[in-house]
Chain A
Amino acid sequence: MTAVEWGLAGQLALAGLGVLAALAAPARARVGLTGVLSALVGVAGAVTGIVVLSGGQGRLSLSTSLPLDPMTLEPTALGGFFMLVAGAVGVVAAVYSIGYVHGAAAARPVLAAFPAFLAAMQLVPAAGDLLSFLAAWELMAVASTVLVLAEHASRAEVRRAGLWYAGMTHLSFVLILLGLALLAAHQGGTSWAELATADPDSATAAAAYLLLVVGFATKAGLVPFHVWLPRAHPAAPSHVSAAMSSAMVTMGVYGLLLVVVRLLPGGPTWFGVVLVALGAVSAVYGILQASAASDLKVLLGYSTTENTGLMVLAAGIGLLLREHGAPGAGDAALLACLLLVASHAAFKTALFLGAGAVLSASGQRDLDRMGGLGMRMPVTAVTFGVGALGAAALPVTVGFVAEWTLLQSLIHGARPGDRLIAVVMPVAVAVVALTAGLALLTFVKAAGITFLARPRSEGAATAREAPRPMQVALVLAAAVVVGLGLLPGQLATWAHAAVEAPSAVSDTTAIRLARIDAVLVPLAVATALGLAVALVAALASTAARQAPRRAVDLAWGCGGVRSSARMQYTATSYAEPLVRVFDQALRPQRDVEISHRDESRYLVEQVHFRQSLHDLVEARVYDPLLGFVMRVGAVGRRIQNGSIHRYLGYSFAALVLVLVVVSW
């Protein structure tokens, strides 16, 4: 057996053990043991991924009792990259779960679903054929549904979210199943290699492509299939939302890459255009909703839509450029796509885990009621801050590296002679630029309102730092965000290998896009920044000798007594100017109620201001659609009214119908 095969088998075995521990271990050790075993599943996945990326090969066949080919696990470099990402996220989330899981989330079935979920996420990219892919995909869907529903008994919104999630995730499954089945029926085989022989220009391929794109886009949370994301994330326990957002959602991106790079390579131009359009719309819509959101987890959920949007945009640009005479820039765009996947996994893990720590410490999810947590939860504050820097793509984080690569590919992809490129590229640059700007505001808001200023609620004022295992996980995630931001070379080499870019020249410290002549050495940027900070800090400490800092009890409040904490800007007011600018796109509902004093209507007693944001896509697309389905269902219910006579009548009618058809 090769190392890869050992790794695959190890993952399966460890996941089995984890499930067993969750179900059978004594109550006291259950959470810890499951957490450790889940972390080991993640380690096994990450190591296997690295081995595959370094050229390792292996193939694990699992025979089934079905009259079909055996299921095979045979990861390629692309799959290896996603295994590595999913595994790394799994390790951090599992470590976190040891300190975090309690109450409903510690119930046996929920606990058992976690290692199964992690293993499923690592098996999806390892799958070598349709059958094992779908099996792993479905396991991933079911396990995550169980995890989302962990707190269904105590919170009604969890039940609703679970319904949405189960509905959307199975819609995704059905579409993928149909798409792959279409290809398989046409090609007469189930392994990826056999499917890949299909002619990408045929009508079958086009139909399959559309089905697969919608299916994977649903998983990736792309607009307009994103509606489950902002619901499921707040409902799920935080280590689960971290794993779902950082790894599971990107499996949708893996699926898309699988289709365009492996199954239907060299497809017609509109393949790429579809991806660019989906990605662009998702990126802008996601970040707009995130910037206006005032629920921390909803904000992070929408930001996931933004990030997957950017990934898909990058993939689409890569496809287009590869085929329109700029293979170097095209490779860079695909590389950017994978770097975005990795960077998103790193910072979103830090952010979701940080949000979980904040939630359980303050009992608040509403940003408008937080504040001042930086002093009470310093570790969480710093790690969340690092994650926010990554999400805002600022140096020196891995988010910056990924965005830099994307922008480089766009600049160097300029092909003035090509009309399609001449239209697509400026739009793509505008989208990336707008997204970057809005992401900046969103994450300054998320981090600043949560951790700075004064507490806006009782819960925030009495919050305590998270327990040790959660801190370890947070620091781990933040270290990856900064570490990969400083030394992205190895990651870039792996990503190069995964997209089979020929001109991969990267050393540990630098990203070199050799074919488009662009170099980024984050360490140099960091050194320059560090030197500058050291210089100013040295100056400051010289000055401090003459004029030491003096503590005063009040912030300047125009001479008045200390203003109430409710007079501070909240998350809603922070985003208010922006919401006004994008009023047409966001359509916030504002209620202003003014009650007057009895004596005169010129004297105001109270002003109530309420603002709520509804997802426009949901209101315009899903609500009418669901209403229609409900009406059809209501009609359908009349057929089935429980009367045995009527059912006998149905049977009789069916029999007559069959006889008529047969005798025709």
Chain B
Amino acid sequence: MVAVLQVLVVVAASPLVIGLMRTVRARLEGRVGAGVLQPWRDLRKLWGKEPLRAEGTTWVSVAGPITLLASSLVVAALTPLLGTAGLAGLPGDLFVVVSVLLLGTVALALVGLDAGTAFGGMGSSRHMTIAALVEPTVLLSVYALSIPAGTSVLSGIVRARLDDPVSVLSPVSLLALLALTIAVVAETGRLPVDNPATHLELTMVHEAMVLETSGRDLAWLELGSWMRLSVLLGLLSTLVVPWGIATEVSVTTLALAVVALLAKLTVIAGLLATIEVTLAKLRLFRIPELLAGSFALAFLAVTASYLVVQA
């Protein structure tokens, strides 16, 4: 029940989150912006357009976008965004969530390779390099978070934080959250790792992979990627500010949780967009340094988690 509601809320909200980030960016640049609803309009349009299929592409080009969106839907269902109850028989185990997320990553990379264009392969290669370097950080930082909570189930971690709010400010938690933030930024292709608004093929990562995709295929890819961003931002904000999440299922708590989630998403998306305005994209070969830095932070977090409990 909670899971279905989560999926619905994330599907509805994720284009708005993107719209909000674009609007914030536009306002800071002195433009008006297309409005918060524009991503929804784009999606509706793509849905009504015909997809093209170039000769030599395989079924992967059709199945890949569907898989990406499906993986995002499952991740949205598994992550504790509205309630900590979770699905029966399918706990929101961190490793399950990460691997379902990676399933989408792989689907996208294969779509990039399928058309056999130079840019597609380039984007795919960069995308996988970044993913390969991000995954260790994600696993390590959540490992660090899970040691105090004693479980790798995400809702368990969130619940432990609700019970002991001070733990949010512990060095372990701060280091891990910082590392996780960098990982999320890299994984979702935001600045300074990838520029979602670039039109210059040589600097593209995500955009280069989808250059060949059109119509509803593109709609699935866009919505899937946007949902990823929203879910991960939602997870981050829930880990920082666990309050508002429903620990038991009732209409009022869930309504409150939806409002809280939307508020958290608005704040964190606005913040991210503001920071993005001040950043330039890093050169591709500087990105590993950033990711190595986040890996080191995560590793410190794990080490700290041992030391803190010991002391």
Q: Is the CB of B54 within 8 A of A555?
A: yes
Q: Is the CB of A453 within 8 A of B113?
A: yes
Q: Which of B30-38, B96-104, B252-260 contacts A (4 or more CB under 8 A)?
A: B96-104
State the CA gap A475–B74 with chains docked (Å): 28
Q: Is the CB of B143 within 8 A of A395?
A: no
Interface residues of A in 153-197 (CB under 8 A from B): none
Q: Does A440 contact B (CB under 8 A)?
A: yes
Q: Does A627 contact B (CB under 8 A)?
A: no
State the CA gap A568–B116 with chains docked (Å): 6
Q: Which of B120-128, B243-251, B261-269 contacts A (4 or more CB under 8 A)?
A: B120-128
- Nearest chain B CB to A528's CB is how many angstroms away? 5
Q: Is the CB of A404 within 8 A of B136?
A: no
Q: Does A535 contact B (CB under 8 A)?
A: yes
Give chain B residues whose Cβ lies under 8 Å from the Cβ of A533. 66-67, 70
Q: Is the CB of B52 within 8 A of A577?
A: no
State the CA gap A416–B311 with chains docked (Å): 9
Q: Which of A372, A411, A444, A518 contacts B116 (CB 8 A)?
A: A372
- Nearest chain A CB to B1's CB is how many angstroms away? 14
Q: Does B174 contact A (CB under 8 A)?
A: no
Give chain A residues whose Cβ lies under 8 Å from the Cβ of B71. 529, 532
Q: Which of A57-65, A260-268, A545-553, A613-621 contacts B (4 or more CB under 8 A)?
A: A545-553
State the CA gap A546–B47 with chains docked (Å): 9
Interface residues of A in 495-536 (CB under 8 A from B): 517-521, 524-525, 528-529, 532-533, 535-536
Q: Does B5 contact A (CB under 8 A)?
A: no
Q: Is the CB of B56 within 8 A of A547?
A: no
Q: Is the CB of A578 within 8 A of B66?
A: no
Q: Does B226 contact A (CB under 8 A)?
A: no
Highest count of chain B CB atoms <10 Å: which of A417, A445, A549: A549
How many of chain B's residues touch chain A, expressed as a range? 35 or more
Q: Does A374 contact B (CB under 8 A)?
A: yes
Render B110-137 as a binary contact track against A, CB cut-off 8 A, 1 for contact. Answer: 1001111110111011101101111111
Interface residues of A in 401-455 (CB under 8 A from B): 403-404, 407-408, 410-412, 414, 416-417, 422, 426, 429-430, 432-434, 436-438, 440-441, 444-445, 447-449, 451-454
Q: Does B211 contact A (CB under 8 A)?
A: yes
- Nearest chain B CB to A42's CB is how many angstroms away? 31
Q: Is the CB of B96 within 8 A of A557?
A: no
Render A209-230 as a binary contact track against B, CB cut-off 8 A, 1 for contact. Answer: 0000000000000000000000
Q: Is the CB of A452 within 8 A of B116?
A: yes
Q: Does B284 contact A (CB under 8 A)?
A: yes
Q: Does B60 contact A (CB under 8 A)?
A: yes
Q: Which of A408, A436, A555 contacts B115 (CB 8 A)?
A: A555
Q: Does A658 contact B (CB under 8 A)?
A: no
State the CA gap A411–B96 with chains docked (Å): 14
State the CA gap A447–B124 with chains docked (Å): 13
State the CA gap A628–B295 with chains docked (Å): 42
Q: Does A375 contact B (CB under 8 A)?
A: yes
State the CA gap A408–B96 with chains docked (Å): 11
Q: Is the CB of A438 within 8 A of B50?
A: no
Q: Which of B190-198, B271-279, B301-309 contacts A (4 or more CB under 8 A)?
A: B301-309
Give chain B residues whose Cβ lies under 8 Å from the Cβ of A519. 91
Q: Is the CB of A568 within 8 A of B128?
A: no
The DSSP consensus for interface residues of chain A is: helix
Q: Is the CB of B54 within 8 A of A525?
A: no
- Nearest chain B CB to A590's CB is how many angstroms away? 15
Q: Which of B159-167, B212-220, B229-237 contacts A (4 or more CB under 8 A)?
A: B212-220
Contact A553/B136 with A452-B113, A537-B66, A577-B285 known, Cβ cut-off 8 Å: no
Q: Which of B50, B51, B73, B295 contacts A535 (CB 8 A)?
A: B73
Give chain B residues whose Cβ lies under 8 Å from the Cβ of A524. 87, 89-90
Q: Does B41 contact A (CB under 8 A)?
A: no
- Nearest chain A CB to B66's CB is how many angstroms away? 5
- Nearest chain A CB to B157's CB is how many angstroms away? 11
- Nearest chain B CB to A291's CB is how many angstroms away? 8
Q: Does B139 contact A (CB under 8 A)?
A: yes
Q: Does A68 contact B (CB under 8 A)?
A: no
Give chain A residues whose Cβ lies under 8 Å from the Cβ of B49. 547
Contact A400/B132 with A529-B71, A555-B57 known, Cβ cut-off 8 Å: no
Q: Does B152 contact A (CB under 8 A)?
A: yes
Contact A577/B129 with A416-B306, A554-B54 known, Cβ cut-off 8 Å: yes
Q: Is the CB of B106 within 8 A of A444?
A: yes
Q: Is the CB of B69 within 8 A of A536?
A: yes
Give chain B residues whose Cβ lies under 8 Å from the Cβ of A395. 96, 99-100, 103
- Nearest chain A CB to B47's CB is how many angstroms away? 5
Give chain A residues whose Cβ lies under 8 Å from the Cβ of B70. 529, 532-533, 535-536
Q: Is the CB of B110 within 8 A of A444?
A: yes
Q: Is the CB of A416 within 8 A of B285?
A: no
- Nearest chain B CB to A322's CB is how many angstroms away? 19
> Which residue in chain B gives the minimum CB-CB distance to A533?
B70
> Which residue in chain B gives the minimum CB-CB distance to A405?
B95
> Which residue in chain A gives the minimum CB-CB distance to B284?
A577
Q: Is the CB of A543 within 8 A of B116?
A: no
* Chain B residues engaging chain A, CB cutoff 8 angstroms: 47-58, 60, 62, 66-67, 69-71, 73-74, 77-78, 87, 89-91, 93, 95-96, 99-100, 102-103, 105-106, 109-110, 113-118, 120-122, 124-126, 128-129, 131-140, 143, 146-147, 150-152, 211-212, 215-216, 220, 284-285, 288, 295, 299, 302-303, 305-307, 309-310
Closest 9 CB pairs of A and B: A569-B121, A453-B116, A532-B70, A437-B135, A416-B309, A433-B136, A433-B139, A454-B116, A437-B132
Q: List 19 A-B contacts (CB under 8 A).
A: A375-B58, A404-B93, A408-B152, A414-B147, A422-B303, A433-B140, A436-B139, A440-B132, A452-B116, A529-B100, A536-B66, A543-B48, A551-B53, A555-B54, A555-B55, A556-B115, A569-B120, A569-B125, A575-B125
